[in-house]
Amino acid sequence: MDKTKIDLDPPSFKASKEGSVRIGRIMRGYSKKYSFSLSIKDLEKHMFICGSTGTGKSNFIQNFLINFTKHHEKPFFLVEFKGEYHFLQEKLENLIILWPGENFSINIFDPLDANPKIHAERVFDILKSGQFLDDSAEYSPQMERVLIEILTEVCENKNMQSWEGFEENCKDYLDKRKTEIPMLKQTLISLKNRIRRFSIGPMKAIFDTDTTLSISKLFNQKVILDLSSIIRLGGEKEDALFFLNMVLKYLWDRNLTKGANSYDGINHLTIIEDAQYFAPQDISKKSKLTSYLEDIALLQRGTGECLITIATRPNISKDILANNGVVLTFKNHIEKDIMCELLNLDTEKKNYLSMLEEGYCIIRVNSIKEPFLLGIPLIKRNTITVSDITRKNQNILENTQTKLASTTEIISKSKKLNKNNSSVELIKKEKDDLLLLNKNSPLSKNDYDNFNAFINKLYNDQEKNK
Whether residues 326 and 417 fall in one domain: no
Spatial contact of 307 and 320, defined as CB atoms under 8 Å apart: yes
One domain, residues 223 and 296:
yes
Task: Find the range with the poorest average confidence among 68-82, 274-288, 363-377, 381-395.
Answer: 274-288
Confidence of residue 403 (pLDDT cuts 50, 70, 90): low
Half-sphere CA count of 148, side-chain side, radius 13 A:
15
Residues 248 and 333 grouped into a single domain:
yes
Whether residue 110 is contained in a domain is answered as no
pTM for the whole structure:
0.81
Q: 150 pLDDT exceeds 90?
A: yes
Is 425 contained in some domain?
A: yes
Q: Highest mean pLDDT: which of 175-179, 236-240, 419-423?
A: 175-179
Let me know whether 80 and 122 are in one domain.
no
With the CA atoms of 215, 193, 203 and 212 taken in that order, what torsion angle do they form, in degrees rounded to the nearest 10? 30
Count structural domains, the chain. 3
End residue of a domain, out of 149, 183, 205: 205
pLDDT tens profile 159-177 = 999 999 999 999 999 999 9
Question: Alpha carbon of 386 to those of 70, 102, 105, 128: distances in Å?
Answer: 26, 12, 18, 35
Same domain, 193 and 229: no
- Reported confidence tier of residue 436, pLDDT bands at 50, 70, 90: very low
pLDDT at 274 over 50: yes
How many other C-beta atoms lie within 10 A of the C-beta of residue 405?
A: 10
Residue 385 CB contacts under 8 Å (≥ 6 apart), including other chains = none
Bridge partner residues of 97 (DSSP):
224
Residue 394's domain spans which residues? 386-464
Residue 65 in any domain: the answer is yes
Which pLDDT band holds residue 152 (cuts at 50, 70, 90)? very high
- For residue 433, is pLDDT > 70? no
For residues 286 and 193, the model is more confident at 193
Stretch 430-458: mean pLDDT: 47
- Determine the Cα–Cα distance for residues 416 and 412; give it in Å rounded to an integer: 6
Q: Is the pLDDT of residue 366 over 60?
A: yes
111 found inside a domain: no
The answer as to whether 347 is a domain residue is yes
Domain annotation covers residue 159: yes
Question: Last residue of some domain: 311, 343, 375?
Answer: 375
Distance between alpha carbon 213 and the CA centroid of its chain, in Å?
Answer: 14
Same domain? For 264 and 299 the reply is yes
> Which of 205, 236, 265 finishes a domain?
205
Same domain, 365 and 246: yes
Average pLDDT taken over every residue of the chain: 83
Report phi then psi at 345, rounded to 5: -105, 130
* Residue range 216-231, pLDDT digits in tens: 889 999 999 999 999 9
Residues 154, 80: one domain?
Answer: no
Phi/psi at 161 (5° precision): -80, 70
- Work out the end-to-end distance of the chain between its first and last CA atoms, rounded to an integer number of angstroms: 77
For residues 248 and 363, state if they share a domain: yes
Question: 412 pLDDT band (50/70/90 cuts)?
Answer: low
Q: Which of 41-55, 266-280, 292-306, 424-438 has the highest mean pLDDT?
A: 41-55
Q: Which is higher by pLDDT, 403 or 200?
A: 200
Q: What is the pLDDT of residue 440?
A: 43
Whether 19 maps to a domain, the answer reads yes
Query: What confidence category does residue 330 fall into, taking pLDDT thresholds of 50, 70 and 90?
Result: very high
Of 134-143, 308-317, 362-371, give the lowest mean pLDDT range.
134-143
| Contact present, 77 and 251 (Cβ < 8 Å) | yes
pLDDT at position 171:
95
Q: 351 with 252, same domain?
A: yes
pLDDT of residue 399: 86
* pLDDT attached to residue 131: 57
Same domain, 194 and 85: no
Q: Are 200 and 273 in a shared domain?
A: no
Tell me, yes or no, whether 380 lies in a domain.
Answer: no
* Predicted local distance difference test score (pLDDT) of residue 457: 54
